[in-house]
Structures are given as C-alpha cells and as structure tokens.
Homo-oligomer: A and B are copies of this chain.
Amino acid sequence: MTEYSVTILPENITVHVPRGTNLLMAAKKAGVYIESPCGGNGTCGKCAVKVVEGDPGAVDVSHLPDELKEMGLVPACNVKVNNDMIVEVPGFSRLTKHKVVLGTRKTRFGRENDYFSFNPFNPLAQKYYLQLEKPGSDDCINDLDRLKTAIYKKYGIENVEIRLSALRQLPQALRLGIWEITVTAVSIGKRTEIIRVEPGKSSRPAYGMAVDIGTTTVVVNLLDLEKGSIIGRSGTYNKQSVYGSDVISRIIYSEENSDGAGLLQKAVISTINQLTDELLETYSVKKDEIPVMVCAGNTVMMHLLMKVPASYLRLEPYVPGAVSFPEVKAAELGLSVNPDASVVTLPSIASYVGGDITAGVLATLINRSDKLTLFIDVGTNGELVLGNSDWLVTCSCSAGPAFEGSGISCGMRAMDGAIDWIDIDSKTLEVSCRTIGDTKPQGICGSGLIYSLSEMMDAGIIDRAGQILSQKSSRLREGPGGTEYVLVYAEDSGSGQDIVITEGDIKNLLRAKGAIFAGIRTMLQQLQLDVDYIDRVYIAGGFGNYINITDAINIGMLPDLPAEKYEYVGNSSIQGAMLVLLCREALLEAEELASRMTYIELSVGNLFMDEFISAVFIPHTDLSLFPSLIKE
C-alpha cells in the first residue's frame, strides 16, 4: 500500500497515510481536528485548509465562501492524498467546541460552601498594599528591609523572602509610587516569597491558574484570587496525543525516541500555554499578573510535565520517580505566565493513581466525611477510591480507553457528532439516537456505548456473554470483523459510512466495564465490606457527566445501588486544583491525605483476575450481585 506524508502547519506534525486518504482524516491522525459539521460531505464549506506543498488534484470548491476561495483555500474533505503534502489549517477551520468537562455548576466546587465552611479563604498568592516610611538622613535603612518591616507591621508576616527579579523592581517602584507599593507574594507552607512589585496601590487582583492535565484533555481555569471566583475556563486536547493515546504508549515514546521526553514535555507545555494565552487575552490579564499555577494530573502526566524519567512506572514493581514534585518556577518549565510564578502540583498516590485523584478526594471532602464513599474517576484510565475520614484505599483498574472511543470501530470522543444516547425498539430493532451538538452522527462516545450495550441486551440482540444472537433484522449482518449491528446507515450518518457496533467492540466494552466493576469488588473484598455499606458513589471525570447510571448498572459496570446514592461530581481534578489555589491549607491536606491513602496493586494475587473474569458478562456471572435487575 503506497503511503504519503502529510505535514500539518503550524504544528509541523507529519503523519503517513495510505494513498487516497481524505485530508480530514489525515489531519485527525496528526491530532488536528478540523470542523466538519456536514460530516465530510463537501457541502458546509467549513473545513477550508491551504495546501502549501503538493498537488491537491481537482478539488470542488463550490461550497467555500468567496473570500476563502480567493485565498486559495480548499475544503479538506474533498482532498484525497495522492502525493506528499504540506497543509496549513487556519484557526477558523479548527474544531474548538468540544465536550471537555470544564466543571459544571452542580459540583462540589460550585456549591462553594462545602470546603470553605471548614477552611479559611487563604489563597496561595496575594497582593499586599503598603505605605512605607520615607527614608531620610536619620533613617537610611535599605529598601528591602524597609519593605519587610512594613509587611510585618501591617500583615504580621515574618521573614518574607523575595525573588531577585522582584528585588530588581523594588528601588524604582518605591520611588515611582512615592513610598506606596503593592507586592504580590506566594505563600507555600511556611514560606512567603514576593515575586512582583508594583508602584502605588494596584487596582487589580492577584490571579491564579488551575490546570487539569489529563491524558486526553487539558483544562485551564483562570481565577481571581481576591474574590475567589472563576473568571474563565478553557480546555482542549493534550497535544501529547500525537505521541500515543494512552500513558503507556507515551512512556514508550519517551524511551524510544531521541529527546522523546523533551518532545512530550514540550507538547503538554504548549497545550497549557495555548489555553493560558487564550484566557489571558480574553480576559485582558497579563502574564506577569499570574504568580501561581496549580496542576493536577495522573502520575505519568506529572512525570512527563516535569520531564522526570517515567520508564520505571511501566516496569514491575511500578515505582514512580516521585509522587510529590518539588515546587518549580514557571520559567523552568517554559510556562507562559510570570517567569517567577510558583508551579505547584497535587501529590500522587502511586504509579497509576495520580494527583487528579488526590484532587478529587480533596474536592469531594471524602477524607472528612463519616460516610463510606466510593469515588470513581473514569477517564483514559479508571481510578477508584473507597473510604471515609478514618481510612482511604485506592486502586487503578486498567479499564482502557474504550469509553473514550479508542479500540471501538466507530468510537469517538465526546464531541460534536458523537452519539451519546440511543434507544432500540425491542420489537422492530429500530434505533433512535441523539448526538452531541445535534448534528449528523459521526460515531459513538462513551455514554452512547453504555446505552448501546444496555439497549442491545434489553432488546435481546446480544446475550449475557456479549455474543450477537442471530435474529431477523436487516441491521444485523456479517461485517469484516464478525457480526455487527448497524446503529446508523451511511445515508443518515455524518461520516458517510455506516455506524456499527461489532462483536469485537462489545468484547472491548465488556472488558472495560468489567475491569471497573472488578476493581470495586476487589477493594470491597479485601476490606471484607459488603457493597451495601457504601453510603454514596461519586462519579468524576470527563466521562462521568454523560453517563446514565441506570444503564451503567444494567450492563454491570457500576454496583447495583439505589440511584440516589450516585452523584456526579464533574471534573473534580480541576476542582481540587482550584481549592489549593484558594486555600494554602488545602495543599497540606492534599499531601496528608495522599500519604495516608492505601494503594492496592490489583495485579498482585489472583483476586482481581478472578473478579474480572466473572465481570466480563452482562451484568455479571453472579446475578445475585444485581438484585434490582432480577426483580425487573
């Protein structure tokens, strides 16, 4: 099969694709998502790109707006790759609206009072306005000690430190402000360090950035640290994705490529910078006004961010380089905020339970509650926490990225065009479905997959083992990968192809849901707890917001508990990061709770494997675990 190279600008990412590949797909392979609301039918004119090098062939540009035609742009969906190409994708053709969970109103954080009823509002960075004594011949104390004395007198802060760059600003600022001055200081632990000096009384607050670094998506929130409010949110795909969709493949990339770790670090930093720049521009905040950034993410993401070798995370006995990373300055990582800004990370617990989970526990107050809580974060991986104020255990069940659409024939991420709900008529086997953004369906996302499995089971299309039963329906057919069920026919789909679920897809989904359920069961068994002891279940993560609990129980992914015990908590990773931004004590609490969490390594012993094998059924080999389903 002849392959050609396609280089996407300005990212300068090159991919190799078979002859005849649609340019839309080639860009997707490069991790660049192009708008295509018409589903690549060449009718909407939204996917305009510029072919900088290589022959695009005869392209129908009739649907492009005139000004784009004049600029020499062509619709990507109409271009087939028949030679090496360099293609520029302009900003307006890029898919930016996507379902990255930015945190919803209905979250712990949104309620505002939960955490702050226990803790002071005491942000990591603050501005201090000071009126200093003017020096004279009888008082020629140096500028820095004059400042320190004033801070101590007014705010009671002793031994305040100062960054060299701030000290360089001090003499001029004091005289410009006629001995009135505003300093921005970051307080971590017992240390308070001035990182910025402004003459006079500043009318602007100190700002802070909270960052959730997911394997798939990165979210940045801009906060006003004076009011304690969220000013803006921004999210996008982690640019590391082009080096591998899951953490293991990225670690391997870092090992096998020259400066692989450097490239991965650059990719995530560039992702954060893009979001940061966007927020700063939108809300007219300057880089220098950001004195602190708090990052939460899984352990591998933190290693890659810090460029600490991650190899040993994937080798037995799975030892991280660190779980708590030292505070670093933004300039050391190349982050585009104040170069002296403190970059603080939430501590991880183990190789596969990261700071995002610590953040989640912190944000949901599980560690302070009497109630026995099960916390489930289903992202690219599945992490579980079980516990209360007395004890906390955690584990990671490698659920895999099936619920993010990976390894599923027509799977896709939860973005415009993704089927997120379906209904199958059990008599006719006809399908109704809904897509995100109400556009023509292009594929199926995680929640759509759960619905599909549940509906196919209820309609008798599959048996408990996930086997497709032979029935009289034109939607059931033999495909290249075995028996498949057609959800959407090509003529109705946005991709111009049938959207199907194959037996192979079903197996993958069963393994994914089985891993989560087996993880929960293993934890309970190790603690000799009955599932009914669980007082509540928190569902977190990008996935969590779109999941239907009833169907998730129906397929045996979640334990059979009353619906009222379940609660969505949204993106609790960024909520935890925001709490740390707004409350110094929260960082200490995060460290304390991370260090006392007991990590259960599921790969040790046979318990998990036994549970897993029993869980790769719908809902389970042991139906007694799902009494409400039996009742039905």
Contacts and interface: CB of A to CB of B under 8 A. Distances in A.
Query: Chain A, interface size: which category?
Result: 35 or more
A94 interface: no
A144 B323 CA distance: 8
A144 B321 contact: yes
B604 A135 contact: no
A321 B170 contact: yes
Nearest to A140: B317
Interface in A113-170: 135-137, 139-145, 161-164, 167-168, 170
A182 interface: no
Given A167-B326, A326-B161, A321 B142 contact: yes
Contact of A171 (B139, B140, B321): B321
Interface in A305-360: 306-309, 311-312, 316-326, 328, 332, 350-351
Contacts of A332: 164
Nearest to A146: B319
Interface string A297-309: 0000000001111
Nearest to A145: B323
B167 A135 contact: no
A601 interface: yes
A168 B323 contact: no
A596 to B, nearest CB: 13
A172 interface: yes
Contacts of A144: 321-324
Copies in the complex: 2
B171 A312 contact: yes
Nearest to A190: B190
Contacts of A326: 161-164, 167
A311 B172 CA distance: 9
A565 to B, nearest CB: 33
Contact of A135 (B136, B142, B317): B317
A188 to B, nearest CB: 12
Given A142-B319, A143-B320, A319-B143, A308 B601 contact: no
Interface string A226-265: 0000000000000000000000000000000000000000
A163 B308 CA distance: 11
Contact of A322 (B143, B163, B311, B325): B143
A50 to B, nearest CB: 40
Contact of A351 (B140, B161, B175, B321): B140
Contacts of A317: 135-137, 139-140
A101 B135 CA distance: 38
A137 B306 CA distance: 26
A308 B140 contact: no
Nearest to A324: B144
Nearest to A303: B171
Query: Which of A164, A170, A312, A323 gathers most chain B CB within 10 Å?
Result: A164
Nearest to A350: B140
Given A170-B321, A171-B321, A306 B164 contact: yes
Query: Which of A142, A162, A321, A323 gathers most chain B CB within 10 Å?
Result: A142
Interface string A343-382: 0000000110000000000000000000000000000000
A351 B319 CA distance: 53
A55 to B, nearest CB: 46
Nearest to A332: B164
B140 A318 contact: yes
A167 B308 contact: yes
A166 B350 CA distance: 21
A309 B144 CA distance: 12
B319 A135 contact: yes
A316 to B, nearest CB: 7
Contacts of A172: 309
Query: Which of A168, A307, A321 gathers most chain B CB within 10 Å?
Result: A321
A175 B311 CA distance: 12
A602 to B, nearest CB: 12
Contact of A601 (B140, B167, B168): B140
Nearest to A605: B137
B142 A320 contact: yes
Contact of A309 (B137, B162, B168, B318): B168
A338 to B, nearest CB: 15
Nearest to A349: B142
A262 to B, nearest CB: 11
Contacts of A319: 135, 140-143
Given A168-B309, A308-B168, A308-B171, A323 B142 contact: yes
Contacts of A321: 142-144, 167, 170-171
Interface of A: 135-137, 139-145, 161-164, 167-168, 170-172, 175, 306-309, 311-312, 316-326, 328, 332, 350-351, 601, 604
18 contacts: A136-B317, A137-B317, A137-B601, A140-B319, A142-B323, A143-B312, A145-B323, A145-B324, A161-B326, A164-B326, A164-B332, A167-B306, A167-B322, A168-B308, A170-B322, A171-B311, A171-B321, A175-B312
Given A140-B319, A167-B326, 8 more contacts: A135-B317, A135-B319, A142-B321, A143-B322, A161-B326, A164-B326, A170-B308, A170-B322
9 closest cross-chain pairs (CB), A and B? A144-B322, A142-B320, A140-B317, A171-B309, A171-B321, A137-B317, A142-B323, A135-B319, A143-B321
